Amino acid sequence: MIKILKYSFYDLMRSRWSYVYFIFYLLLGFVLLFLNNEISKAVITLMNVIIVLVPLIGTIFGVMYFYNSREFTELLLAQPIKRTSIFLGQFLGVASSLTLSLVLGLGIPFMMYGLFRSNAIWDFSLLLVTGAFLTFIFTALAFNIALSNENKIKGFGYAVLLWLFLAVIYDGFFLMSLILLEEYPLDTFSLVASMLNPIDLSRTLILLKLDISALLGYTGAVFKKFFGTDYGLSISIVILFLWTILPILSLKFKASKKDF
């Protein structure tokens, strides 16, 4: 598996898109710092971008890489290599190169701006960690979609729909149900509902860490009571882990059944 990972990673490092992604974050970091003039404020703006953009890029890149490397996959399948290592290796290659672009692209400008002397360092680290989680989660989901759909157009379509659903539509349903079920106690419901969507979960986690839970409105207090504690924080991290591991397991399962 390590060898496949190495070759996938090497392959991606030669591709133009990794650099485009890296430079995008680099520019974003510099521009935000220039406009905000303060690290902690830049971190908040950055959160809004990361929460939406990282899943999108993870999804698109995952699907694109999977379809583009079909030939490579077929070549590997005839070699004495375990099937699951091929797919896990490729997945880890994509996810880790995307994470690297994210961490370096944002890390460099913030470091140059004096991140280590600032007290926003923990907020910033949490931001990068959630960004990494989101990359792994959405790349794994994208690989699942691509593996189940022979047709590229369909695969792309489903992947973008998935992103749209989790990033935008889910919130809409969530709010609607809060309004409709106003008369009932909704603490547990809203907690569970935000756990079921990795994007929501990451957003909540960061907002609470940044201590601006007022932005969360209605359920803010409940969330703060829950996520603010060590217990709540560990639960959220565990759920993010689950969100990463479940699609990977399903990827393993799907890969061992598929015909090429």
Interface residue with other proteins, options 17, 24, 72, 170 (CB under 8 A): 72
Nearest 10 degrees: Cα torsion 27, 105, 251, 73: 90
Determine, following the binding rule CB under 8 A, whether residue 69 of this chain makes contact with other proteins. Answer: yes
| Nearest to other proteins of 169, 249 (CB atom) | 249
Question: Where in 78-137 is the site for other proteins (CB under 8 A)?
Answer: 78-83
41 part of the interface to other proteins, by CB under 8 A:
no
Residue 123 near residue 210, CB atoms below 8 Å: yes
Coil/strand/helix, residue 148: helix
The pair of three-digit structure tokens given for residue 174, joined into one six-digit string: 């969530």
Give Cα 140 distance to the centre of its chain: 10
Cβ closer to other proteins: 41 or 83? 83
What distance in Å separates the CA atoms of residue 260 and residue 251, rounded to the nearest whole number? 15
| Among positions 31, 35, 77, 169, the unique one binding other proteins when judged by CB under 8 A | 77
Report helix angle 39-68 to 83-112, nearest 10.
Answer: 150
> How is 59-72 classified by DSSP, letter by letter?
HHHHHHHHHHTHHH
| Contact (CB, 8 A) for 251 and 140 | yes
**Hey, is 35 helix, strand or coil?**
helix
Tell me if 75 contacts other proteins by CB under 8 A: yes
Residue 229: both structure tokens together: 């504690």
Q: Is 2 in the site for other proteins (CB under 8 A)?
A: no
Q: Report, in Å, the least distance between residue 75 CB and other proteins.
A: 6
In SS3 terms, 162-179 reads as: HHHHHHHHHHHHHHHHHH
In whole angstroms, how close is the CB of 257 to other proteins at the nearest point?
7
Please, what is the minimum distance in Å from the beta carbon of residue 53 to other proteins? Answer: 26
> Of the ranges 74-82, 103-111, 132-140, 215-223, which one interacts with other proteins (CB under 8 A)?
74-82
Nearer to other proteins, 1 or 160 (CB): 1
Nearer to other proteins, 11 or 200 (CB): 11
Regarding 70 and contact with other proteins (CB under 8 A), the answer is yes
What is the size of the binding site for other proteins (CB under 8 A)? 24
**Cα 179 to Cα 25, 172, 194, distances in angstroms:** 37, 11, 16
User: For other proteins, which is the closer residue by CB, 15 or 118?
Assistant: 15
The minimum distance between CB 70 and other proteins, in angstroms, equals 7
| Residues 81/158, Cβ–Cβ less than 8 Å | no
Please pick, from the candidates 148, 151, 188, 256, the single residue that binds other proteins as defined by CB under 8 A.
256
Binding site for other proteins (CB under 8 A): 3, 7, 11, 14-15, 69-72, 74-83, 256-260
